[in-house]
Amino acid sequence: MGFLQRLINKARVKSPYVFHFNSGSCNGCDIEIIAALMPRLDLERFGVKLVGSPRHADIMLCTGPVTEQIKPRLQKIYEQMAEPKFVVAVGSCACSGGVFRGGYNVLGGVDQAIPVTAYVPGCPPKPSAITYGAYKLLEVLSEQLGVSEIKEAEKAPEEAAEV
């Protein structure tokens, strides 16, 4: 791997841009994502930045179940993201359909429409669980892309996952 590619990989892991998409959630999970970005848990300490366009994003945070109506839109948004791209299903609905599973127009979780890299279960998941999920995803990406480990100071405290 060349120097430039190593530099790009490091930048990608140290400063992931995140796009948030709601495919039909009750907004409970969306509020928890906002809470994870607030100063108490401060997802930004990992370099995570919320962006308004899928074209600028490395990671898509998806909330809510996938319906017949939203599936093609979700797939179109996914196609607009540049490679390499990753999807995190946040909440039980995004993981499996949750309380909406079995509805006449509900297909299930986000993985019924696009590939999912990580799942954060819960209804809704706690902000600390979302932070922990994001941290774990970055840890896996670091290994896959050959980037040195996330600094000790940046690590999510173990107790954060239990709050």
Write out the residues near ligand SF4 by the rule CB under 6 A. Answer: 25-26, 28-29, 63-64, 91-93, 98-99, 123-124
Q: What are the Cα distances from residue 51, in Å, to 81, 119, 140, 163? A: 12, 21, 22, 27
Q: What is the DSSP letter of 52?
A: S
- Closer CB to ligand SF4, 54 or 124, in the complex: 124
Rounded least distance, CB 6 to ligand SF4, Å: 38
Rounded least distance, CB 66 to ligand SF4, Å: 12
- Closer CB to ligand SF4, 30 or 58, in the complex: 30
Q: What are the Cα distances from residue 1, in Å, to 6, 17, 58, 148, 154? A: 7, 23, 20, 14, 26
Rounded least distance, CB 106 to ligand SF4, Å: 11
